[in-house]
Chains A and B, each alone.
Chain A
Amino acid sequence: MAAFTIIVNGTTHRVDADPAMPLLWVLRDRLNLTGTKYGCGAGACGACTVLHGDRAIRSCTMTLAAAAGQSFTTIEGLSPRGTDPCQRAWIDEDVAQCGYCQPGMIMTAAALLRANASPTAADIDTAFAGHICRCGTYTRLRAAVHRAAEYSK
């Protein structure tokens, strides 16, 4: 056990835990931010995606020690009232089915749009290559990213 400081959604937290604890479990079990989902624990499905600065990362493969002192945004912190362009576009395109993988998808969409204001279909496929949705919402997901890009302009 050791004490670490991480900044999540603008709030600084002191976490006393195993340095090897993945950020995912820190968020879910210690900070009670359950919007970030466990899917595979191996960086293979994207359900646990959060923003590290402006980059989308898999919180299941980043240790608390590696995360120490740094700043992250989770789905709960993406916008104060759920009005981020990605969140609005997701609702307008009615993307979600079971919805479990969608917070991770939305975080990747947000990171993509911060880096690329007008992503092509190929850009979207590349950005989401590490994500899995077993409900098969991919068609609407693509449409939602295009729509979110429009909303961001």
Chain B
Amino acid sequence: MSTRRQFLRDSAGALIVAWRWSSVPLSAFAPATDTALEPNAYLRVDGSGEVTLWVTRLEMGQGVRTLLPTILAEELGADWSKVRIEQASPGGRFKGIELHTSGSGSSSGAYRRLRTSAAAARDMLIAAAAKAWSVETASCRAERGWIVHEPSGRRRSFGSLAASASKQPVPEQPRLKDPASFTLLGKPMKRVDGPAIVTGRAIYGIDVRVPGMLFASIERAPTLGGALVRFDADAALRVPGVRHVVPVTRGILPGVAVVADDNWSALRGRAALTIEWASRPGPPFESEQYLAALPSACDRATFKVRHEGDAIAAKEAAASHYDASYLFPFQAHAPMEPMNCTADVRADRAEIWAPTQTDVRTIAQIVKVTGLPESAVTLHCVMMGGGFGRRLFADYAAEAVEISKAIVRPVQVTWTREDDMRCGYFQPATAERFTAGFDAAGALTALIHKTTASDLTIYDIHDGRNIWTAPPKPARGADDYEKDQSPWGAYDTPYEFPALRVDCADVTSAVPVGPWRAVEYPSTVFARESFLDEIAHRTGRDPIAFRLDLLPRDSRKVGPYTIDRARLARVLEQARERTGWSTPASARPGRRSGRGVAANVYHAGSYLAMVAEVSVADDLSDLRVHRLTTVVDCGIALNPLGVIGQTESGITWGLTAALLGKIDFKADAPVQKNFSDYHVMRIGQMPELDTVLLDSGASPGGFGEHPVPLVAPAIANALFAATGIRVRQLPLRLNQRPA
């Protein structure tokens, strides 16, 4: 059984990535030929001079297929215009290398590992050339596919050296390039898949075509925990093009699959099914009631997250105190490409094409459903039309495998948008409560944060339990959250408080939950940055100056993290300067304008400050976000074009959460069904985005999720500055008159 700790690390933990990237010794790889140089699995230099670079992470838009080869090419000294980029698939060449992609860990984890791998190959090429020329290796260098002997100007191509280089010993700890000499990293690199994408040639999971394949659509139980009682397939089987109707038990909900010659026939057949469902026992889930009761769960927050000083005593001794609670709703992932998977299961083998973030968990599902040994399974990890955490679950692959096994033919299961929105692993709703104590002079003496967290494992089909009827998991230990450095944003609060106490309560509901972009940070940071704004205003302080006062310019150890608070202070100061923070927000006739700030540190690696400028009409209608200024220090920006793109992407995601998105449940079912009622950001609502990269030269931090948590609090704080109204629930709604 997977524990919370394993799962969090497994599914969304940047922490595990460093370990994974270094789990295979560099010298363990056995090359296939001796005419090519391939000292490890990540790259090959052929005798023809062709350089092949393998992408050992999975692409969902974050740019790993561009970045990881750039890292390899840089350290190898390859000619970027001539490299061949190949997607790694699990097993075989990549046995022992997990492709699992989450937690914004690819760049930070890849940086040293891939550089070391490529440097080993480069040093072997240099050693071969130096031997041929009878010169010192130190006098040779690699440059755009050539080894150059500096003093004499002699050159030999990589290809001409590949065979002799392959006979050189593999250096275990090759010397890495001085970043000052980088010619690719740090430069804007365009997406390698751009030409394939703009011509429609890029192949996503849904585009996989296998000879003889059929198409399936699954009608799943309409309610959370619903069960299949019986079904009548006769009418469906009479629909032209329908071939099979089979029950499905391996997905998130039980269902009945209609398999046909094409998607439309499958959908028509599905509509013709007659199915009797049973509800789960007990009262149906209603999110309105659940959210109303959720803040009271903070009273039960007894799991230790982080304790520094005696915050309870400090609060008891305080001259005054102030508290506030915040609510974050359920959210859907809704990637543009709905869940889908193609499976071809035969008696002795299985071949699967899955748009997945997790090779590991998908293979585990395939093995479980087929009963085949892992060696008989071939998994192709294909491009994803977005992932955002949803594709860390393998339920959609399990269903396709189950159907193909039943009909003994290749089949592609495509979810409708309604399926995708209804049968999700949602971002859990959470409540946060903050209490601040002040001395007689109004200075902050204590901060108490009571947070709530949902176990992201309990609805996982991975361990094969019926998720709605399984017995509860064993109670967790009092300090398990602290050991997990969780919840993110609560555990790793970057600020220094005179006394700090963070405790957590487990909350659970009938709603399957899973990691969503930035996992726990969106709710904890919304609450924390809103609350800091509240107490700054209550004590008459400027919100940026107040935060800066809470940031000694030091490196602060928090468990395994070292938080460089000078870097956070610097991005805040830059944001203040860039936005003209001390001057009033732009006056807009008939409207009230204001600015708000938020700051956060993502896994001690990426430091951000954001300032929002918003306005509302005088009658408090029509909230508009005019501009978001984001200052990012994620260390070395390995691909500035990619980092800015990902920052804008995360901001847009955060805007949806701040202004629009939520999933409600009524009578055990999600209310929102499609993009017509699950509202997400569209182009006309986009504010002006001013994104600044502040390169501190530090090791690269993650940049797939980092800005998401800042957007809602920056806007909520700006809304307060504009109106005097504090909104503590997302999505932000102004339904009160001004105070």
Q: Nearest residue in A to B641 (C-beta to C-beta)?
A: A94
* CB of A133 closer than 8 Å to a CB of B: yes
Q: Does B675 contact A40, Cβ atoms closer than 8 Å?
A: yes
Among the 9-residue stretches B243-251, B331-339, B580-588, the one with 4 or more Cβ atoms under 8 Å from chain A is B331-339
A99 to B200 CA separation, bound complex (whole angstroms): 9
Interface of A is mostly: loop
A13 contacts across to B, CB distance below 8 A? none
B128 interface contact, C-beta 8 A: no
Q: Is A96 an interface residue (CB 8 A)?
A: yes
B203 interface residue, CB < 8 Å from A? Answer: yes
Among residues of A, the one whose C-beta sits closest to the C-beta of B206 is: A38
- Report if A8 contacts B (CB, 8 A): no
Size bin of chain B's contact surface: 35 or more
Q: How far is the CA of A93 from the CA of B335 in the complex (A)?
A: 23
CB contacts (< 8 Å) of A21 on chain B: these are 262, 264
Please tell me if the beta carbons of A94 and B416 are within 8 angstroms of each other in the complex.
no
* Contacting residues of chain A (113-153) with chain B, CB-CB under 8 angstroms: 124-126, 128-129, 131-142
A25 contacts B198, CB within 8 Å? no
The reply to whether A131 and B335 contact each other, CB–CB distance below 8 Å, is: no
User: A35–B194 Cα gap in the complex (Å)?
Assistant: 14
Cα distance A32–B211 in the bound complex, in angstroms: 12
A44 on the interface (CB 8 Å rule)? Answer: yes
- From known contacts A135-B649, A140-B645, infer whether A98 and B199 are also in contact, taking CB-CB under 8 Å: no
Q: How far is the CB of A40 from chain B (nearest CB, A)?
A: 4
A54 within 8 A of B: no
Chain B residue at minimum C-beta to C-beta distance from A128: B683
Q: Decide if B680 is an interface residue (CB 8 Å cutoff).
A: yes
| Given A37-B337, A39-B417, A47-B336, residue A99 in contact with residue B683 (CB < 8 A) | no
Binds A, one of B56-64, B159-167, B505-513, B533-541: B56-64
Interface string of B187-209 (1 = CB under 8 A from A): 01011011101111111101101
Selected from A35, A47, A131, A137, the residue in CB contact (under 8 A) with B682 is A131
- Bound-state CA distance A137–B193 (Å) is 15
Once the chains are docked, how many angstroms separate the CA of A133 from the CA of B629? 21
CA distance A39 to B416 in the complex (A): 8
Report B-chain residues with C-beta under 8 Å of the C-beta of A40: 417, 674-676
Known: A44-B676, A91-B198, A129-B683. A136 touches B648 (CB 8 A): yes
Residues A132 and B336 in contact in the complex (CB < 8 Å), given A44-B676, A139-B686: yes
Are A98 and B674 neighbours in the complex by a CB distance under 8 Å? no
User: Within residues 69 to 84 of chain A, which ones have a CB less than 8 A from any CB in chain B?
Assistant: 74-76, 78, 82
The answer on a CB contact under 8 Å between B204 and A41 is no
Decide yes or no: A25 and B190 within 8 Å by CB, A39-B336, A75-B199, A132-B680 being known contacts.
Answer: no
- Which of B223-231, B301-309, B384-392 faces chain A? B384-392
Q: Mark B306-329, 1 if CB is under 8 A from A, else 0.
A: 000000000000000000000000
**Contacts A75-B200, A96-B197, A97-B645 given; does A139 touch B336 at CB 8 Å:** no
A interface residues, Cβ below 8 angstroms from B: 1, 17-18, 20-22, 25, 28-30, 32-42, 44-45, 47, 74-76, 78, 82, 86-87, 90-91, 94, 96-103, 106, 124-126, 128-129, 131-142
20 A-B contact pairs sorted by A residue (CB < 8 Å):
A18-B268, A21-B264, A25-B264, A30-B262, A33-B200, A34-B203, A38-B338, A44-B676, A45-B336, A90-B197, A90-B198, A94-B645, A100-B336, A100-B337, A131-B682, A132-B675, A133-B652, A134-B653, A136-B652, A137-B648
